[in-house]
A = this chain, B = another copy of it.
Amino acid sequence: SCPTMGRAMGLAGLLLGLVVVPAVLVSTSLRHGTPRTEAEPEPSGWELAADAVPEDSLWPLPQWVRTYPRQLQLAPSRFQLVHGAGSSAGPSCGLLQDAFRRYYEYIFGHSRRRTWGRRPLAARAEPELFQLQVVIEAGDPGCDRHPQLTSSEAYHLTVTEPVAILKAPEIWGALRGLETFSQLVHEDDYGSFLVNESEINDFPRFAHRGVLLDTSRHYLPLKSILTNLDAMAFNKFNVLHWHIVDDQSFPYQSIYFPELSDKGAYSSNLIYTPTDVRLVIEYARLRGIRVIPEFDTPGHTQSWGKGQKDLLTPCYNGGQPTGSFGPVNPVWNTTYDFMTMFFKEISSVFPDEFIHLGGDEVDFSCWKSNPEVKEFMKKQGFGTDYAKLESYYVQNILDIVSSYNKGQMVWQEVFDHKAQLKPDTIVQVWMADNYARELSRVTGAGFTAVLSAPWYLDYISYGQDWKKYYSVEPLNFPGSEEQKKRLIGGEACLWGEFVDATNLTPRLWPRASAVGERLWSSSNVTNLQDAYKRLTNHRCRML
Contact = CB atoms under 8 A, between A and B. Distances in A.
Interface stretch (A346-354, A399-407, A453-461, A515-523): A453-461
Interface stretch (A31-39, A63-71, A78-86, A369-377): A31-39
Interface string A496-518: 01111111011100000000000
Interface in A457-480: 458-463
Given A21-B218, A248-B40, A463 B223 contact: no
Interface of A is mostly: loop
A20 interface: yes
A202 interface: no
Interface in A480-504: 495, 497-503
Nearest to A40: B248
Nearest to A220: B20
Interface stretch (A100-108, A264-272, A388-396, A525-533): A264-272
A30 interface: yes
B31 A501 contact: no
Contacts of A463: 498
Nearest to A464: B498
Contacts of A18: 221, 223-224, 501
Contact of A269 (B1, B363, B503): B1
A443 to B, nearest CB: 21
A247 interface: yes
A29 interface: yes
A224 B30 CA distance: 22
A255 interface: no
A160 interface: no
Nearest to A302: B39
Contact of A16 (B31, B430, B501): B501
Given A1-B269, A16-B221, A502-B12, A497 B248 contact: no
A307 interface: no
A217 interface: yes
A15 B502 CA distance: 6
Contact of A219 (B15, B21, B29, B217): B21
A177 to B, nearest CB: 28
A294 to B, nearest CB: 12
A16 B495 CA distance: 20
- Residue with the highest number of chain B CB atoms closer than 10 Å, among A40, A42, A463, A505: A42
A13 B502 contact: yes
A387 interface: no
Contacts of A38: 302, 324
Interface in A50-92: none
**Which size bracket describes the interface of A in this complex?**
35 or more
Nearest to A433: B33
Interface string A237-249: 0000000001111
B14 A495 contact: no
A543 B503 CA distance: 12
A320 interface: no
A394 B432 CA distance: 51
A32 B21 CA distance: 36
A452 to B, nearest CB: 9
B33 A432 contact: yes
Q: Which of A13, A20, A269, A500 has the most CB of B within 10 A?
A: A500
A48 B163 CA distance: 62
Contact of A506 (B21, B223, B503): B503
Interface in A5-24: 11-16, 18-21, 23-24
A98 interface: no
A115 interface: no
Given A16-B223, A219-B20, A460-B462, A36 B502 contact: no
A476 B19 CA distance: 43
Contacts of A46: 266
A40 B300 CA distance: 12
Contacts of A36: 299, 361, 363
A43 interface: yes
A501 B30 contact: no
Interface of A: 1, 11-16, 18-21, 23-24, 27-33, 36, 38-40, 42-43, 46, 214, 217-219, 221, 223-224, 246-249, 266-267, 269-270, 299-300, 302-303, 306, 324, 360-361, 363, 430-432, 456, 458-463, 495, 497-503, 505-507, 543
Given A14-B16, A42-B306, 20 more contacts: A1-B219, A12-B501, A15-B502, A16-B221, A16-B224, A20-B500, A20-B502, A23-B218, A24-B499, A27-B217, A27-B497, A28-B248, A32-B360, A32-B495, A46-B266, A459-B462, A461-B461, A461-B462, A462-B498, A502-B505
5 contacts: A1-B267, A20-B218, A31-B300, A32-B360, A42-B306
